[in-house]
Structure 1
Amino acid sequence: MKTNLKDIIVPLIKTLILLFFLEVMTTAVFPNIGLLHYRIPFNILLVLFLGLRLETPYLAIIIMIVQYFHGFFSVEGWEMGTVTGIVICVVVSYVREMIHFSSWTMTILITQVFQLLWFFVQSILIYIQLGSLNYIFEKGWRFLPQSVIIALLSPIFFYILNRIWNVDDRGMLGDKV
């Protein structure tokens, strides 16, 4: 576990630069090629990586920063994603010892399961806020194909993020097991 801020700030800045590039792609490039209502939620992938691979007491703050940065490119508020991300990370902390990224298939499967949990938690928050299920069903039909794409891309992005955060495959954040 790394608790020094100096070990977290540089990788966080690199992660935010990656998120900026991905958000520009989904908000500027995709509409130009005809994908108007299709947004791949890369912020969910980043938060899932942070929750699954990072052990730090600053995790909630890092998630808030990532979600706040995502909020610049989205009409969705950063606060709902932050709460959802923290709930997901609490669940991850209970099952972390059982999760092994031994293959690309396992990475895809684990990412898909936690994305479905993300959608479930966020749906509860949306229902509490709106009091209606209409928006949840509408969002669900868009979320399913997006989550499959994110799950399929997760091994590549987890590899990149492992390098950014200096996460060793034998342990968390470079810890030798």
Structure 2
Amino acid sequence: MKSRLIFCLLFAFTLAHTSLYAQEAKPDSYTDLQTGLKFPSTIERLKFVSKADYGDVQLGVGIRYRSPEGLRIDAIIYNLGLKTIAADPADPRVKEQVEEALSGIKLAAEKGLLKDLKVISNEVVPIAKGDAAPKAHKVLLSFTLAEEARESALYLFVYKDHFIKVRATWFPEEKKASREDVAAFLTWLSAEMKK
């Protein structure tokens, strides 16, 4: 299933210390041709790290940012070849993508890649402050990877007939700064989507 492949790609590039991007030139910003979203070199304290093309327009691209404390934010933009995708979080296709992501994470835990996996919350929230902000499924997780505790937030929503999956992973001791950086990224993204 293509959505499982997308999750596996996202999961691998989020957790691995080496990157899928090592094989291609690393730009300092990126404009997505499918959605028109322009990812700048910095978003407040976050620095653009790289962009990965998954080799098929249906599987999309991944964009990575990083904070000084090691927070990683990965945004995946893809459409699975669907011509139209409802932007409603209650739409079955959107819910299916959230469930696919969660089942992939649980599978990684079953295989021993993650330890002590906990799903802390799973809710629909606006991605930024204000009534006009897009609503997303937000899944908050905690787990242990390489003997270190981590926390992660997964956001999934639709923009211009594309799924956008944002995964932020941080160390618990950096929770306050990391959550502020995630909020800054999502606030920027919400504003960019209105242009």
Q: Which has the higher contact order (CA 8 A, sep 6+)?
A: 1
Could you state the TM-score of these two structures normalised by the residue count of structure 2? 0.30
Structure having the higher helix fraction is 1
TM-score normalised by length of structure 1: 0.33
